[in-house]
């Protein structure tokens, strides 16, 4: 059956994650001094340690309720740690969290990902996303796409799963159940759906459980059966579309 929909992972697939070039300590304290003076004395290591404790507590509560792969609301985590954060308007919180993440890592579009997105879109396929993410993920992705002359509108919003919107994350099978149901409502069968991701446990195995086809993205690794970097993916995709024509 021809491929009619392609669902992409974000981090490590569409986005490359890199360490920031500047000093984490200096950037962190400058950011807090500007936006949250009351929290300026909190070191990045202390923030990370406190966040880990809050996340562990949240995960334990969720697992007791039967949610095996919980997702946190990052703004709620930050509000417990940073004095004054909870008093900010939600949009201001979102912008600050994006800047805070920029202290710890930088993102850019994975080389070859833009060409792949264009190729899939030109073939008339539906494009979607399945991502363990936070609101800042959308900003990171939007900026990376814009730098390549692309827009978020290339993805069908109803075929995008962002974990922060649901409270659970991959590899929970419900992620793929939700997307499978939405695909079927468009007449797209599991065998016509391709999952592209870099993580076998989170992306590929659960997708296969639902009958999806998969591509194991290996940005710098060797090519194999349904696996390899973006240029190999493009070559295989071209052959797939040619055979279906």
In a shared domain, residues 157 and 67: no
State the distance between the two ends of the chain, measured CA to CA, in whole angstroms: 11
Burial degree of 91 (CB within 10 A; 0-12, 13-18, 19+): exposed
| pLDDT computed for residue 223 by the predictor | 84
Question: Is residue 90 located within the same domain as residue 120?
Answer: no
Decide which of 104, 134, 150 is a domain's last residue: 104
Number of domains in the chain: 2
pLDDT digits (tens, 9 = 90+) for 177-228: 999 999 999 999 999 999 999 999 999 999 999 999 999 999 988 888 899 9
213/204 Cα distance (integer angstroms): 9
pLDDT surpassing 90 at residue 245: no
pLDDT tens across 125-182, in order? Answer: 999 999 999 999 999 999 999 999 999 999 999 999 999 999 999 999 999 999 999 9
82 and 189 within one domain: no
One domain for residues 99 and 118: no
Residue 21 pLDDT class (50, 70, 90 cuts): confident
- Domain boundary, last residue among 71, 104, 137: 104
Decide which of 77, 104, 131 is a domain's last residue: 104
**Which domain CATH number covers 206?**
3.40.50.1000
Whether residues 227 and 111 fall in one domain:
yes
Enter the pTM of the model: 0.95
Domain that holds residue 45: 24-104
Parallel/antiparallel/unpaired status of strands 106-109 and 15-18:
antiparallel
> Are 128 and 84 contained in the same domain?
no
152 shares a domain with 100: no
Render pLDDT for 83-106 as a digit per residue (tens, 0 to 9). Answer: 999 999 999 999 999 999 999 999
Q: Are residues 87 and 120 in the same domain?
A: no
Same domain, 9 and 128: yes
Does pLDDT of 231 surpass 90?
yes
Whether 136 and 78 share a structural domain? no
CA distances from residue 94 to 16, 54, 88, 139, 186 in whole angstroms, order as listed: 21, 19, 10, 9, 33
Average pLDDT score, the chain: 96
User: Does 152 lie in the same domain as 87?
Assistant: no
Buried b (16+ CB within 10 A) or exposed e, 64-83: eeebebbbbebbebbbebbe
Kindly state whether residues 115 and 152 are assigned to the same domain.
yes
The answer, yes or no, to whether the previous bond of 171 is cis (omega within 30 of 0) is yes
């Amino acid at each position: 059956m021809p491929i009619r929909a392609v669902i992409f992972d974000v981090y490590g697939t569409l986005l490359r994650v890199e360490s920031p070039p500047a000093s984490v300590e200096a950037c962190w304290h400058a950011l807090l001094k500007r936006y949250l003076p009351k929290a300026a004395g909190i070191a990045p290591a202390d923030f990370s340690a406190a966040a880990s404790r809050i996340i562990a507590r949240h995960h334990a509560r969720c697992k007791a309720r039967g949610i095996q792969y919980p997702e946190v609301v990052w703004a709620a985590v930050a509000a417990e740690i940073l004095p004054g954060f909870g008093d900010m308007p939600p949009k201001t919180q979102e912008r600050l969290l994006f800047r805070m993440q920029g202290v710890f890592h930088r993102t850019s579009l994975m080389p070859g990902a833009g060409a792949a997105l264009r190729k899939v879109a030109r073939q008339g396929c539906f494009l979607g996303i399945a991502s363990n993410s936070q609101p800042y993920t959308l900003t990171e992705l939007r900026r990376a796409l814009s730098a390549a002359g692309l827009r978020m509108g290339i993805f069908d919003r109803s075929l995008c799963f962002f974990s922060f919107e649901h409270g659970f994350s991959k590899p929970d099978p419900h992620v793929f159940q939700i997307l499978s149901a939405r695909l079927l409502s468009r007449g797209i069968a599991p065998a016509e759906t391709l999952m592209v991701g870099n993580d076998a446990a989170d992306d590929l195995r659960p997708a296969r459980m639902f009958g999806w086809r998969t591509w194991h993205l290996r940005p710098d690794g060797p090519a194999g059966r349904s696996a390899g970097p973006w240029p190999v993916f493009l070559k295989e995709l071209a052959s797939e579309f040619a055979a279906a024509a």
